[in-house]
Chain A
Amino acid sequence: MSPIGFGAALRELPGGRLDMVPYARLLDLSFEQSGGEIRLRMPYAERLVGAPGRLHGGAIAGLLEIAGMAAVIRALPEDERLPRLRPVTVTVDYLRAGQTIDTWAAGEVTRLGRRVVNVISRAWQADRARPIASAHLNFLVDWPEA
């Protein structure tokens, strides 16, 4: 096991890599706490490419999902034990082709329920005002046994 878990890292560290999750390592994700949000970065690599010259939509979706989870973890009270988050439905709108450059993403919790949490995530590249994709994520929250 890694010395620090995904949730604990997002709660306690100012930033860093998310290598404790193998799939996040495949996407080469890192995070930073910035301006009241957790921002994820997916640096460009050839292995993320789908059609020639553009990122695979699945890699962008993976980034959006993890950014959404990060937003939920940040929104939970800090003294609360971390629940397991299970994505129930994930809807991604692809707004622009993902260019072969670095991608960023951040999520925003629309409603933090005890059982269901609703989140919107957005991904962008050079210009945050021109998102390349957004995702509407609904998570089921599995609280640890008391």
Chain B
Amino acid sequence: MSDERPPETPEARALRRQKRFLDNFLANVPHMKELGIAFHGMGEGWVELVMPFSETQVADPAYGIIASGAIFTLMDSVCGMASMLARGRLEPNATIDLRVDYLRSPRPQATVIGRGECYRMTRQIAFVRGVAHDGDPDKPIAHVAGTFVFTPGGAGVVGSSII
């Protein structure tokens, strides 16, 4: 064998492809780029994004506390991504609704990690849930639940109202 690398398992190959897809995907979402949101990790049925602290996310300059809106954006993004991964193919989708429970304030200048999972997929709807934390997953700062709608074969739908 001339190639010294061990052969890649199908699972590892699928994971590598998914990660490359997500990196590309994130680089093309201007608002996520603006907030510094980046890919953090994924596994069976879940995906994580990270939002490193930046002064532009702040709601309260005296304390350096991140705006809840920035956390909402992180969680909308990660839940959308979880539903896309669960779908297994690129299809236009849109958030129907998303609820965020803010359990506590993040620490000042916190890096926030958001995890999303799709726990049920129907023909058109993805049901998602997620958690955000600022370092310790056992002390979450937010819980989310939401739904996304897919428009099968909806090429050209993106950019127009689909509901």
Contacts and interface: CB of A to CB of B under 8 A. Distances in A.
A101 to B, nearest CB: 12
Interface residues of B, number: 44
B67 A62 contact: yes
B158 A66 contact: no
B29 A50 contact: yes
Contact of B69 (A1, A55, A65, A95): A65
A4 interface: no
Main secondary structure of the interface of A (DSSP, over half): mixed
Contacts of A26: 34-35, 56-57
A50 B31 contact: yes
Interface in B85-116: 92, 94-102, 105
Given A53-B159, A91-B98, A97-B159, A23 B105 contact: no
Given A23-B56, A58-B69, A62-B73, A90 B34 contact: no
Interface residues of A, number: 41
Query: DSSP majority for the B interface?
Result: mixed
A61 interface: yes
Interface in A83-113: 86-97, 99
A9 to B, nearest CB: 14
Contact of B73 (A25, A51, A59, A95): A59
A52 B29 CA distance: 8
A47 interface: yes
Contacts of A52: 28, 158-159
B69 A22 contact: no
Contact of A95 (B57, B67, B160, B163): B163
B31 A58 contact: yes
A89 B76 contact: no
B83 interface: no
A21 B34 CA distance: 16
Contacts of A20: 61
Contacts of A61: 69, 72-73, 76, 98
Interface of B: 28-35, 55-62, 66-70, 72-74, 76-77, 80, 92, 94-102, 105, 158-163
23 contacts: A22-B57, A22-B59, A25-B56, A26-B57, A46-B30, A47-B34, A56-B76, A58-B35, A58-B74, A59-B31, A61-B69, A62-B70, A65-B69, A66-B69, A88-B102, A90-B100, A92-B72, A92-B97, A92-B98, A95-B163, A96-B163, A97-B94, A97-B162
